[in-house]
Amino acid sequence: MSRRLLCTALWLAACAAPAAAQTRAELSQRIARLTTAFARAETARLRADSAARARVTFDTIRAGPMRVLAARSIVRAVAPAVDSAWRALEATFGLSARIVGQETIAVQFWGQAEGNIPFDSPNTINLPAAPPTELVTRYVIQQGSRIVRQTEDTQLTSWLSPQFAPGGPALDRLDVVYVELATSPRSKARSCFVGDLVACRAALGLAGREDPVRAWYDAADRRAIVRRFGRLGGDVGRCQRDGPDEACEAALRLIPPEQLPRPLSPAAQLSLLQIVLDAGGPGAYDRLRSSAAAKHSIEERLALTARVASGDSLLSAWRAKVHAARPHTVEVSAGSAWAAVLWGVVLGFLALRSTRWR
Amino acid sequence: MSHAVEIRDLHYRAGKTFEIRDLAVNVPTGSMYGFLGPNGSGKTTTIRLMLGLLRPIKGTITVLGGAVPRESPRILARTGYVPEQPHLYTSLTISEALAFHAAFYPTWDWKWANELLGQFQLRRDQGLARLSKGEMGKLEMLLALAQRPELLVLDEPTDGLDPVVRRDVLTALLDYVSQHNATVFISSHLIHELERICDWVGVMDRGRLVTELPMHSFKSGIKRLRVEHAPALPGDTPFVLLAREGGNGSLETWTVRGWQAPMRQYFEGVGASLREIVDLDLEEGFVELLRTFREPTIGA
Amino acid sequence: MFRQLLYTQWKWSRLVLLIICLASFALPLLSVQGVRPDDLGRFDIEQMLAGIQTWGLLYPILAAAAALILAMTTWGPDHRGKHIYALSLPIPRWHYALLRFGAGCVLLAAPVVAVWLGALVASAATRLPAGLEAYPTILAMRFALAALVAYAAFFAISAGTNRTAGIVLGVIGGLVVVQMILLVADTNINLVGPFMLQLFVWPGPLEIFTGRWMLIDV
């Protein structure tokens, strides 16, 4: 019973007593009695919950160091998903994946025979009845990734997209990155596209302790963002009326840094990370984590993990791969062209085979 | 005698009610063959079958020595066709229509086409949509003649035309035929017109050929006879008795086909008297022929 | 022969062909009308591409419309005359139909060239930022192929007898009716979906209509 309800009940109880002949002492005694009764009722409830929990049967599924709790009736459905999830986590995070064993994950399905189990774990996954194994795997991976990555250093966490996880968005969508670089409204992204590595560094957020308002945008970008965000207060009006850049800067500083639009989407960072992990080979992620101790910048850490000489080499390699992945969506493939010609011939032939023209 | 057109055992059906059955037509080469029949008798259908525009269910069609429809393109190149309804592209001018038509016929004679243009008083720049019925009829005939065909198939070519236009068209046709000995197959229900120009006639009714014979035989062969004291049963007659009707007293009226003068003797032989021989013109003969074909009254 | 057939078809369709050619020439120009070459560094490339893509939806529609109109004008006069003239000409029937088809294809080149010219002019008039390219020839080629497929389909339907057209419409109508019955009966059977998928996915006949009809793209 909540405190609010208790107070209300007490107040009502007090009001229910005859108004006459109620001294302060009598009211205090009454409140004390009701409080005692409430405490006894709360204890009984907790005891009942524990008893209910004790009656429920659930098992622990283990895969590597990972422990997943599940009701006995659904263990057979969950176990293969846990196995797949562990393998994916290990493949991506290497030895660091063992961190997942530090916490327990729980899985339950709606409508399972045992009913809702009040697991104490903050990593409880609730899924619809009879979900496909792939869905269970994906959610277990998500939780496992969260457990592993919550121990990353803040420098890596703040740079790396929260989407980085096995089975998440593909890391190698270089064609998407190409389109983004070529069509981005941000000057840093477009400068990166034409070959300015300094701009690439800024666009990818690799420059370390940078002031995003000055590092990520030029004056025109700042004005465009303020116009898009609209009501910010301060110097917004001046900025929007083609006032000085200082007004736009001041307006942007009203926005929390984590809410400022980045020059490039997480896909660009993930593609750079993929290159780093591929170049670094087995254990690359472990090395990336452990490089925090040497207090390098994020760019230096990535270069060290990828075993390249410098950040410039890494960015050049990344840029080259992005350009090589340019999509050709507008072009008509030979297959499409021939198929169209063939259909033209076939349909024309059908016309000649009409009974009238035969 | 060779035939420009030979049709044997032709069978065709259109819809549920109309049928051409067991049709046999022979058009002698070099003749002008008049194809007679009332409206809806199957004349146009027969012509379309003959030219391969329609496909029969059964039967053989041979035109100018070629089998239809297998050799239709070769046959059509030597055949001039004037259909019942104008079939040209009305969005063209006369000049364009001539050029279009000429492109398909290797035997096209531009010189003669130009002469006919003058003869028919047609202007090159006239749009076909603006031509009168008579002008369109003349143009159709011009197109058919200018390609110098061996066979002309004309489906009611003068229908709806005024006498002046009709004369112009028929004159041009007869000129061509006389110079080139072409075969003409002309269908019409204007009997008097065919009477003047045709030397063969075929009569069609309800999808069947009623008769096919030289024109002079057709014209002279059908007579109405007034017979007195006619025998109840005529027996074997030297002529074809189409109908007999009772008149006043013992006088009967006989309609006969294939009459010739020496056949009087038949009546003497059966004890009857031939009182009068009435010549029927082609139209009356045609009507009688159809009437007796539809409702035979021999022995009534 | 072919020249005369081409002439007649041109004469029947010249007015509507002119309109289609004007529309074909104008479409690429309209699609880049929002591009401000003098404001090169500041305009929103994404918005520009989105606008071009929106205009691009009209290309397949225009190709199909051009094809439909040409097919109808090809056979219209013959239909009105019940094909008597065409069937009485001294060439094999299939040959005549083939010549008509070829003449229509030649006429179809006019809107294709119009699209190409319009795209060339639009590309030349637009200064593109780095990363973007103009594709006037590919656009015209895609337009030509789509128009060819549509023309062949409409030509085949127009050239057929009423019975053929009735069969085609009957099959389509039957498919729709059966699908509706299955829907009402609460079954999960989907007939129309897979059929449509086969049409629009390679090597289906309508695959050329899908894809990005973009004059300017990355």
Task: Set out the domains of chain B in order of their start, with CATH numbers.
Answer: 3-217 (3.40.50.300), 222-294 (3.30.70)
For tokens 């050619």, name the residue.
C21
pLDDT at C178: 87
On the question of pLDDT at B14 being above 80, the answer is yes
pLDDT digits (tens, 9 = 90+) for A76-132: 999 999 999 999 999 888 899 999 999 989 999 988 888 777 776 778 899 998 899
- Say whether pTM exceeds 0.80: no
Other beta carbons within 10 angstroms of residue C217's beta carbon come to 25
CA distance C94 to chain B (A): 11
Terminal C-alpha separation, chain A: 90
Q: How many CA within 13 A on the CB side of residue A268?
A: 25
Under a CB-based contact definition with an 8 Å cutoff, are residues B15 and B45 in contact?
no
Q: Which residues, given as ranges, of chain C have pLDDT below 50?
A: none
CB spacing of B87 vs C88 below 8 angstroms = yes
CA distance C46 to chain A (A): 6
CA distance C21 to chain B (A): 22
Q: What percent of chain B has pLDDT over 70?
A: 97
Q: What is the mean pLDDT of chain A?
A: 83
Contacts of C142 in chain A (CB under 8 A): 332
pLDDT at B300: 38
The verdict on A122 touching C (C-beta cutoff 8 Å) is no
The verdict on C1 touching B (C-beta cutoff 8 Å) is yes
CB spacing of B87 vs C77 below 8 angstroms = no
A334-352 helix and C93-124 helix, angle to the nearest 10 degrees: 150
Buried b (16+ CB within 10 A) or exposed e, A51-79: eeeeeeebeebebbebbbbbbeebbebbb
Contacts of B74 in chain C (CB under 8 A): 90
pLDDT at B296: 65
pLDDT at B71: 93
Under a CB-based contact definition with an 8 Å cutoff, are residues B254 and B241 in contact?
yes
Closest residue in chain A to residue C153, using alpha carbons only: A347
Minimum-distance CB partner of C88 among B53, B89, B90:
B53
Contacts of B88 in chain C (CB under 8 A): 81, 85
Tokens of A168: 């998440």
pLDDT digits (tens, 9 = 90+) for A54-64: 556 788 999 99
pLDDT band at A48 (very low <50, low <70, confident <90, very high): low
pLDDT at B44: 93
pLDDT digits (tens, 9 = 90+) for B209-260: 888 888 888 877 788 899 998 888 888 888 888 888 886 668 888 888 888 8
Whole-number Cα distances in Å, A344 to B198, B232, C146, C159, C167 = 52, 77, 9, 15, 21
Closest residue in chain C to residue A325, using alpha carbons only: C218
Under a CB-based contact definition with an 8 Å cutoff, are residues A265 and A205 in contact?
no
Contacts of C77 in chain B (CB under 8 A): 89-91
pLDDT digits (tens, 9 = 90+) for C24-83: 999 999 999 877 655 555 557 888 888 899 999 999 999 999 999 999 899 888 888 888
Quote the CA–CA distance of B147 and B182 in Å, as a whole number: 12
CB spacing of B103 vs C4 below 8 angstroms = yes
On the question of pLDDT at B32 being above 90, the answer is yes
CA distance C150 to chain A (A): 8
Closest residue in chain C to residue A176, using alpha carbons only: C218
pLDDT band at B139 (very low <50, low <70, confident <90, very high): very high
Under a CB-based contact definition with an 8 Å cutoff, are residues A167 and A180 in contact?
no
Closest residue in chain A to residue C41, using alpha carbons only: A187
Quote the CA–CA distance of C49 and A224 in Å, as a whole number: 18
On the question of pLDDT at A227 being above 90, the answer is no
CA distance C10 to chain B (A): 11
Q: Which chains does C contact via 3+ CB–CB distances below 8 A? A: A, B
Interface of C with B in 73-132 (CB under 8 A): 77, 81, 84-85, 87-92
pLDDT band at B187 (very low <50, low <70, confident <90, very high): very high
Residues A234-259 have a mean pLDDT of 79
pLDDT at A55: 58
On the question of pLDDT at B74 being above 50, the answer is yes
Under a CB-based contact definition with an 8 Å cutoff, are residues A309 and C114 in contact?
no
Q: What is the mean pLDDT of chain B?
A: 89
CA A336 to chain centre: 39
Q: What percent of chain A has pLDDT over 70?
A: 86
pLDDT at B282: 77
The verdict on C11 touching B (C-beta cutoff 8 Å) is yes
CA distance A260 to chain C (A): 18
Listing DSSP states for A86-127 in one string gives HHHHHHHHGGGGGGGGGSEEEEEETT-TT-------TTEEEE
pLDDT band at A154 (very low <50, low <70, confident <90, very high): confident
Interface of B with C in 34-63 (CB under 8 A): 51-53
The verdict on A230 touching C (C-beta cutoff 8 Å) is no
Terminal C-alpha separation, chain B: 40
The verdict on A173 touching C (C-beta cutoff 8 Å) is no
Quote the CA–CA distance of B89 and B100 in Å, as a whole number: 10
On the question of pLDDT at A16 being above 60, the answer is no
Q: Which chains does B contact via 3+ CB–CB distances below 8 A? A: C
The verdict on C12 touching B (C-beta cutoff 8 Å) is yes
CB spacing of A348 vs C155 below 8 angstroms = yes
Closest residue in chain A to residue C142, using alpha carbons only: A332
* Greater model confidence, B104 or B286: B104
Beta strands in chain A (DSSP E): 58-63, 66-71, 104-109, 124-127
Residues A312-336 have a mean pLDDT of 90
Q: Please state the domain extents for chain C.
A: 2-161+212-217
Minimum-distance CB partner of B104 among C77, C84, C90:
C90
Closest residue in chain C to residue B77, using alpha carbons only: C90
Closest residue in chain C to residue A354, using alpha carbons only: C160
The verdict on A335 touching C (C-beta cutoff 8 Å) is yes
Q: DSSP class of residue B127?
A: B
* Interface A-C: count of C-beta contacts within 8 A: 135
Whole-number Cα distances in Å, A294 to A205, A288, A289, A291, C118 = 20, 11, 11, 6, 61
The verdict on A219 touching C (C-beta cutoff 8 Å) is no
Minimum-distance CB partner of B76 among C11, C12, C90:
C90
pLDDT at B117: 94
The ipTM assigned to this model is 0.88
pLDDT band at A224 (very low <50, low <70, confident <90, very high): confident
CB spacing of A332 vs C205 below 8 angstroms = no
On the question of pLDDT at A50 being above 80, the answer is no
pLDDT band at A1 (very low <50, low <70, confident <90, very high): very low
The verdict on C149 touching A (C-beta cutoff 8 Å) is yes
Under a CB-based contact definition with an 8 Å cutoff, are residues A67 and A101 in contact?
yes
Residues in chain B: 300
pLDDT at B299: 44
